[in-house]
Amino acid sequence: MSAAFYVCFLLWCFQINAAGAQLPPPHNLNVISMNTNYTLIWDWDQGSAESCAVNFTTHYVAKFMLRSKKKSPNWNTGCETTSHRSCDLTNKNLFYLGIYVFRVRASVNGTDSDWATMDFCPDEEAALGPPSKVALSPEGRNLDIVISDPLSSTNRSMREHHEDLYFHIRYWERSADGQVRSSPHTPPTNSWPNQTIFICNTKIIRIQKSSNFNLLLLM
Ligand SMILES: *[C@@H]1O[C@H](CO)[C@@H](O)[C@H](O)[C@H]1NC(C)=O
Ligand SMILES: *[C@@H]1O[C@H](CO)[C@@H](O)[C@H](O)[C@H]1NC(C)=O
Ligand SMILES: *[C@@H]1O[C@H](CO)[C@@H](O)[C@H](O)[C@H]1NC(C)=O
Ligand SMILES: *[C@@H]1O[C@H](CO)[C@@H](O)[C@H](O)[C@H]1NC(C)=O
Ligand SMILES: *[C@@H]1O[C@H](CO)[C@@H](O)[C@H](O)[C@H]1NC(C)=O
């Protein structure tokens, strides 16, 4: 390695570091997700740039595009020059099984920070929402519960992405004084691939979706 190249390399590094130190990049990147709604959020330390308006630019790309050594990846724009610390990527039609890289940088008065990046895979990381609708109708001593699938941001069933989607149902009995008896019942089988089930003599029914969500219905 020639000395001239080495010096240039050092100078180049120094410049990058100096620029990065001037304007801190965003940090704490996180995706708030529900079904196919994805909102990237981040923090940014205002620091010395306090008096200036700050803008953020968000990009995204399929991760495999970054592996190509031949050409630099074509980053897509998520949000351009927003002052919010969030970017709604819902309408970008991300492929549910894909792995993406999101990146965001801060800009103040024409100076850009370094990019902060994070990976995101909807299939593994997006939260599954609750049933989009639950309808109850008493039928004699039975109760019909009609559960509608969680919906994507385009109002399609999330079953298109999770073929094995099923519902957990729990119910409690209520005593005469209105107290809920402590232990919940689980109907005879706790998974229904389809939508209509019957439960006898229930007063309170709780329907759980996935492990995260639940809906309490009071009758
Ligand atoms: C995504 O969810 C957020 C938070 O609930 C909401 O504000 C936003 O409008 C949703 N985006 C779309 C495109 O529906
Ligand atoms: C930065 O954002 C402000 C609003 O926060 C806007 O007025 C301004 O035009 C933006 N700057 C650039 C370079 O886009
Ligand atoms: C913005 O940048 C210009 C040129 O680099 C400089 O003259 C000006 O003082 C800066 N403004 C602020 C508020 O830092
Ligand atoms: C989804 O359905 C809701 C309620 O019917 C409606 O308000 C909304 O506009 C629909 N969204 C789309 C993207 O079709
Ligand atoms: C499940 O419910 C859907 C919609 O009500 C219906 O079209 C489908 O035939 C049902 N599947 C089975 C196996 O009963």
Whether 193 shows a pLDDT value over 60: the answer reads: no
- Tell me if the pTM is above 0.75: no
> Could you give the residue ranges of the DSSP H alpha helices within the chain?
3-22, 122-125
171 strand-pairing partners: 185, 205
Q: Minimal CA–CA distance to 57: which of 106, 11, 15, 126?
A: 106
For residue 206, the Cα-to-chain-centroid distance in whole angstroms is 24
Q: Quick check: CB of 109 below 6 Å from ligand 3?
A: yes
Query: What is the 3-state composition of the chain as percent helix, strand, coil, each rounded to the nearest 5?
Result: 15, 40, 40
Q: Is residue 146 a contact partner of residue 153, using CB atoms and an 8 Å limit?
A: no
Number of C-beta neighbours around residue 36 at 10 A: 22
Atom of ligand 4 nearest to the CA of 155: 1
Q: Quick check: CB of 154 below 6 Å from ligand 3?
A: no
> What pLDDT does 72 receive?
83
Quote the percentage of the chain above a pLDDT of 90: 37
Which residues contact residue 70 at a Cβ distance below 8 angstroms, ignoring those fewer than 6 apart? Answer: none
**Ligand 5 geometric centre to CA of 192 (Å):** 11
Whether 145 shows a pLDDT value over 60: the answer reads: yes
Domains annotated on the chain, with CATH: 24-125 (2.60.40.10), 133-218 (2.60.40.10)
Average pLDDT of span 10-22: 44
Q: Quick check: CB of 107 below 6 Å from ligand 3?
A: no
Q: Is residue 217 a contact partner of residue 207, using CB atoms and an 8 Å limit?
A: yes
Whether 204 shows a pLDDT value over 90: the answer reads: no
> Greater confidence, 183 or 196?
183
What integer best gives the mean pLDDT of the chain? 75
CA dist 208 → 37, 54, 116 (Å): 20, 42, 36
The residues lining ligand 5, judged by C-beta closer than 6 Å to any ligand atom, are 194-195
The residues lining ligand 4, judged by C-beta closer than 6 Å to any ligand atom, are 154-155
> What pLDDT does 51 receive?
57
Query: For residues 35 and 22, what is the distance between their CA atoms, to the nearest angstrom?
Result: 38
